Amino acid sequence: MIDDLDRKIVRVLNQNARKSFRDVAKEVETSVTAVINRVKKLEESGFIRGYIPLVEPEYFGLNLIAIIALRISKGKLLETQKKVAKDTRVVSIYDITGEWDSLIIGYFKDRQDLNDFIKSLLSLEYVDRTVTHIVLNVVKEERRILV
């Protein structure tokens, strides 16, 4: 179970995962050994799954964000989602409630790249329909879980 010290450590690592254990310990007011042991425990238990750089998609030429709803037929939801997930432009896939079966968030170079992606989706055997929303402005996008 996660306690207050674990939460404090994760908050500090969320701000800068490259911070030394010594600096983390100072900030959360505990020993370096306690931080090392807690982080190791959090990693082994799967609460912390890894450390990644937060990058700006535009720097890599990904200037368009799209949110795409899918209607998938014949109970082939998971099978279809796994195929779609292989595309590197897809950053998230969700099962959702309501009129649609799945929601995709993807980053694309431009409208043509998005068009190609949508056409590839529609060519999948169990994809019946899609609805695409293009993001005009990002007001908030937090990639970390703030505990």
What mean pLDDT value characterizes the chain? 95
CATH of the domain at 15: 1.10.10.10
Say how many domains are in the chain: 2
For residue 142, pLDDT beyond 80: yes
**pLDDT of amino acid 89:** 97
SS (H, E, C) 42-105: HHHCCCCCCCCCCCCHHHHCCCEEEEEEEEECCCCHHHHHHHHHCCCCEEEEEECCCCCCEEEE
For residue 146, pLDDT beyond 80: no
Tell me: the pLDDT tens digits for 73-99?
988 999 999 999 999 999 999 999 999
Average pLDDT over residues 88-117: 97
Task: Judge if 92 and 128 occupy the same domain.
Answer: yes
> With pLDDT > 90 as the criterion, what percentage of the chain qualifies?
89
Query: What residues make up the domain containing 30?
Result: 4-44
